[in-house]
Amino acid sequence: MHTIFACLGGTGTQIGRAIGTLYPLLKKENDEGLIDEPFDMFIVDKDTNSGIFKGCVGARDRYEQCYKALPFNEPLEPFYLGHDVYQELQGATGLLRDSIYTLKNIIGEDKFVLELASMCWNEEKIGESLRDGNNRDPSRGALDAAVCLNNLDQSSFYMKIDKIISERSLDQVRLVILGGATGGMGSSLIVPLVKRINAKYPQLRVDLVILGTYFTIPQREDEQNKSSVDNIGTSKDSFYRASDQLKELYQEKVVTNESRVYYAAIPELDPGVSGDVFEKNGADRRAHLVELCAALAAFEIADKKPGFYQTVLSYNFQSTEAGNVVRWDDIPGGNKIHKKALRFMSLLSLLSCRIYPVLDNAEKSAEIAKHRSELINRYFKKKDQETIDAAITALRAWLQITEPYFTFWDNIQEYSKLGFKDSRNPVLFFDREQMAKLKEELASRQMSKLGSIPFIKEKWSDILGNLKPDAKKIAAASDSTELLKLLIQDVYRYILNDIK
Q: What is the CATH number of the domain that holds 92?
A: 3.40.50
Q: Global pTM?
A: 0.89
Confirm whether 325 is domain-assigned: no
Do 100 and 173 belong together in one domain? yes
Question: Looking at residue 319, what is its pLDDT?
Answer: 53
Confirm whether 427 is domain-assigned: yes
Rounded percentage of the chain residues whose pLDDT exceeds 90: 37
Query: What CA–CA distances, in Å, run from 151 to 93, 110, 156, 204, 450?
Result: 8, 23, 11, 20, 61
- Choose one of 278, 312, 346: the last residue of a domain: 312
Residue 318, burial from CB neighbour count under 10 angstroms (0-12, 13-18, 19+) = exposed
Confirm whether 332 is domain-assigned: no
Question: Looking at residue 267, what is its pLDDT?
Answer: 54
Question: Looking at residue 449, what is its pLDDT?
Answer: 59
Highest mean pLDDT among 135-149, 207-221, 348-362, 397-411: 397-411
What domain range includes position 407? 337-498
**pLDDT value at 250 more than 50:** yes
Do 368 and 425 belong together in one domain? yes
**pLDDT value at 66 more than 70:** yes
Confirm whether 327 is domain-assigned: no
pLDDT averaged over every residue in the chain: 82
Give just the sign of the alpha carbon dihedral 423, 453, 31, 38: positive
Do 292 and 425 belong together in one domain? no
CB 238 within 8 A of CB 216: yes
**pLDDT value at 322 more than 70:** no
Q: How many independent structural domains does the chain possess?
A: 2
**pLDDT value at 221 more than 80:** no
Confidence of residue 56 (pLDDT cuts 50, 70, 90): very high
Do 438 and 378 belong together in one domain? yes
Q: What is the DSSP letter of 32?
A: B
Query: What CA–CA distances, in Å, run from 149 to 104, 146, 182, 363?
Result: 18, 6, 21, 59
Q: What value does the mean pLDDT take over residues 65-79?
A: 92
Confirm whether 324 is domain-assigned: no
